[in-house]
Structure 1
Amino acid sequence: MLSTLAIANYRSLRSLTLPLGRLNLVTGANGSGKSNLYRALRLLAETANGGVVNALAREGGLSSTLWAGPEKITRRMQTGEIPIQGTKRTEPVALKLGFASEDFGYAIDLGMPPPIPPSAFSLDPEIKREAIWAGPFLRSSNVLVDRRGPMVRVRDGRSWRVVAEHLSAYESMFTQIADPERAPEVMALRESIRGWRFYDHFRSDMDAPARWSQLGTRTPVLSHDGRDLAAAWQTIREIGDVQALDEAVDDAFPGACVSVTTSDDRFGLMFRQHGLLRPLSSAELSDGTLRYLLWIAALHTPRPPPLMVLNEPETSLHPDLLPALARLIVKASKRSQLWVVSHAPRLIAALESVPDCHTVALEKDLSQTRIIGQGQLDEPAWYWPER
């Protein structure tokens, strides 16, 4: 389970360190930075999938994603005595992402390549530092794997062992030295991050794949767009918690039940509700009903991930369904660490009524995203690896 998340110089997240619990609720007004926090976490996950530089390129490159304000905001700027203005840069360009978990901590520092030798890819960011450590925060004594530029060394007792000297500047060490013998910590952490699951856009329009029968195989993990809903539902019925699945349907739609049809290896979903003489196919369901069934399938996965992130799960749902969705999320948090981004008051209230819910309320202050009520003494201890 992640205990701390840290981001520096990513869009409005100039410097943010937040504690995490098993069930995390991220809220805030429009423009407060909820989406930036979500995207930063997705970017961090890309380090283990070999695509962190490509992910930055899709966002416009490092120059577009860096904090756009001044390097330092003085007290006189904060009080309004002088306007917000740029100053001469004294620190190198750096976008930093990191987290600490129950087992390991990890941090990555991305910057610009040197101007020499010239290259057509001079705007591609480089990985300047990476580090893996044991414990809640980085110290010189608990570093296990240390990367500086192209060289990686691994702690070997009281000394260090160099395991690579020519790493590509645009690829994380997760994709280059993850080896169970040379660097087992890299391998273990990479596989853990690869298990993170993000759901942010279930389609429910009339052309949505979830509305139509699909070729199906055993599906313990619902796809990000929900195209394999029927196969995932049948997988839960065969190897998952069938009782919890049926109870989730009845909680949201009293008296209703869902069944799966198969024909020539194609799977379809049928929804039977009290008062109807025939079941409805997924093609006939309302957007809200279909989307809710997708959430039931995602949150009852027989293969719970270490971290599941739900971005605005209330989209297209009727407000009366939100308390049931909150109960669904709370039950899923018993098996996985949950991260929910929402601005629906009814869902927020339902989740916050749970004692274990950790709320992260965001606000903007001089264009910086901050956590409401968090003072300097409330921040978890965090230290970035130096270049």
Structure 2
Amino acid sequence: MTAFLLASIPLVLVIGALRDPTKSVHGMLGSALWTTLGPHFMLLSLLAFGLGFYAFRRWPRKITVLSLVLAGCASIGSTFITGTIIAATNMAGGKINPLSSLFLRSMTAGGPDETVAVATIDGRPLQAAIYRPALPQSAAPVLMYVHGGGFMTGSVTETDADLRWFADLGWLVVSVDYRLFPEGAPTWDLAPADVACGAAWLNSNAARLGGDIDRLAVLGDSAGGNLAINLAYAAARGDVETDCGEVPNASAVVVQYPAVDPLAIYEHWFPVRGFQPRMLVTGYLGGSPHAQPDRVRAVSSYTYIHDRAPQTLILSPEQDGLVPAWSVIRFAEHAQQAGVDVELVRIPFANHVYNQIAANSLGNRARRSITVHYLTERGLAPGASH
């Protein structure tokens, strides 16, 4: 009976991982947990199989046979899913140690070295969190990070552990703030202006902080991925206007599950109350996108595609229930056809924020190691030739 119960947990989630995450909570959980707890589910399945085999040897009855079969299925399924995630990461140049990934850590790592106000807007300071390289450098490569949160929530330190990790490897990391929409006050035109202001501040202060602005990579997740792409692509075309100063040209863009297509997000439901795609898009735009075509055009990343856009890495979880994976893949293909150097990495059995539930998880290691490999190959990592 113990083996039966232990095997049931990973087996239910194996089945859930094969379901559409937008259609049921079961499918959502099945795709949300494997990139965090895959190795744990493998161990649980193997333990269940061992107990089932032991019980079968001693009491060869129907219930022990059923327990053994369930445990075997759970072991095969969990090993396949976890191995597929690791293999996809390796194919993209990343690296995951499944044993090390058993030891999860908090996404909070003590906070930034400094938080500064880059501007004051509507009486509120627009902030930037600064993570300095572990070893002082005269010209460290620079990462500018734009957080996610559906344009409604989030903060400059929500991925604190990752930002500190990149700084410890030698990057100057600056996470920039932007206005989030409260109910009835859309920020479709304000959030991009704030990110541009943060980028202009970084352009003026990177050298003072020990960074080389000529080796700038702009990173962003979800809503922040939209803002990162739009800013970097527009800056490369000279289309960014801000009173905060000159916006630098990025050498690369690295985004995850970017909200590139507001219409696709609006029409794609997600079974989590209080964070539905339709509500997020409506709140950001100030109404239905069908009634706001000019605003949709202003925030859609398709608007900013051109053949001089910086090289771009896009990480897309294949079972994303918030930002539809197909919409991200379609954007990547469209940008490639327009002449943009886009590398698309699909993360199997993964949902939205697959990397942010716990530091050191499978998904977290995938995000970190693939990003480092990509930037190193392009001379944008500490110690890389440029």
- TM-score relative to the length of structure 2: 0.28
More helix, by proportion: 2
More strand, by proportion: 1
- TM-score relative to the length of structure 1: 0.28
Structure whose CA Rg is larger: 1
